[in-house]
Amino acid sequence: MDEKWARTLDGISKLRDKLVSMNPDVLVIIGDDQKECFDFNNHPSIAVYLGDEFAGRAPGAVAFEQRGSVKPELTPNPGCKALATHILTGLLEKDFDPAFMLEMPNRERGMAHAIMNPLGFFTDFTIPTVPVLVNAYYAPQITAKRTYRLGRALREIIDAYPEELRVVVIGSGGLWHTPGQSESWLNEEFDVAGLQYLESGQIEAWAEMFDRYEPGDDPSQEISTPRGGTTGLPSPSGPQFGSRETLCWIGAAATVDGSKTELVDYVPVYASPVGNGFAFCDRPA
């Protein structure tokens, strides 16, 4: 476990250094929301945050390396209203139906951890950021194929932005993880197969592989009973629970579809279980 902890910290450190070298003007982070911004009164499939600033609970890089936990206070981070508005209107023109947020829906809870975690791991909370939230978690969820098309649309929309901006897109979460579920396990084979598609730039094929997966009678994938983390509603095919955060990877990778990606590491952690993956692409096609 100590060795895997060290590899995980090394993966975070390498991505942090890579982000510094990329020197982005703006980040676009694709992540899911687990009842942090939204609840079952209204839970959109896609949402874009347009505010000038947001805040949330985030791990500090130093505290994390000391095996600390998430900071108790909300940490602010600048938004980027101009690019966010361009993305929102661009998605509408491309036949997506995103929700939008001008303010934080839940000020006490703050922004989703899928947005705040990479900011805590890789930044000092000063880079303007556009959160793009997708419902990867609660059935009925967005599909991998839909998320792939979202990523392709984001690339076209960002390319059409009238100002020169250096934009880095981050896919947050994943890979396979079902902590707390009955007979929880780690499907390394599934993760590795997906990462091979990522490395070779075959992102649409990765999305198709994800959507083809059939959980069968695997108890760790059972979602028909309403409880914490489930709605009791039917889901598209594909893995369930946190493993669906892989869709955020697929959406981000779709922005550089066809480009080879460097896999920094894949760390299978059975204590959770979770597949910790780290990868980047700095030469998009």
What one-character-per-residue DSSP string does 14-83 give? Answer: HHHHHHHHH--SEEEEEEE-SSSS-BTTB--SEEEE--SEEEE----HHHHHTT----SSPEEEEB-HHH
Q: Percentage of the chain surpassing pLDDT 90?
A: 85
pTM for the model: 0.95
Average pLDDT rounded to a whole number, residues 77-102? 98
Q: Is residue 83 part of a domain?
A: yes
User: Residue 41 — pLDDT band, cuts 50, 70, 90?
Assistant: very high
Q: Return mean pLDDT, the chain.
A: 93
Q: Is residue 285 part of a domain?
A: no
Q: Is residue 81 part of a domain?
A: yes
The letter for the amino acid at 59 is P
Average pLDDT rounded to a whole number, residues 78-106? 97
The letter for the amino acid at 252 is A
User: Residue 285 — pLDDT band, cuts 50, 70, 90?
Assistant: low
Q: Is the pLDDT of residue 65 over 80?
A: no
Average pLDDT rounded to a whole number, residues 251-259? 97
Q: Is residue 55 part of a domain?
A: yes
Q: Percentage of the chain surpassing pLDDT 70?
A: 95
Q: How many domains does the chain have?
A: 1
Q: Is the pLDDT of residue 69 over 70?
A: no
Q: Is the pLDDT of residue 59 over 70?
A: yes
Range(s) of the domain holding residue 251:
2-280
pLDDT at 62: 46
Average pLDDT rounded to a whole number, residues 161-166? 96
User: Residue 58 — pLDDT band, cuts 50, 70, 90?
Assistant: confident
Dist CA 60 CA 32 (whole Å) = 20
Q: Are strands 26-32 and 129-134 parallel, antiparallel or unpaired?
A: parallel
Q: Is residue 276 part of a domain?
A: yes
Q: Is residue 227 part of a domain?
A: yes
Q: Is residue 179 part of a domain?
A: yes
Looking at residue 239, which CATH number applies to its domain?
Answer: 3.40.830.10
Tell me whether the omega of the peptide bond preceding residue 78 falls within 30 degrees of 0, making it cis.
no
Q: Is the pLDDT of residue 274 over 90?
A: yes
Q: Is the pLDDT of residue 283 over 50?
A: yes
Average pLDDT rounded to a whole number, residues 29-43? 94
Average pLDDT rounded to a whole number, residues 62-77? 66
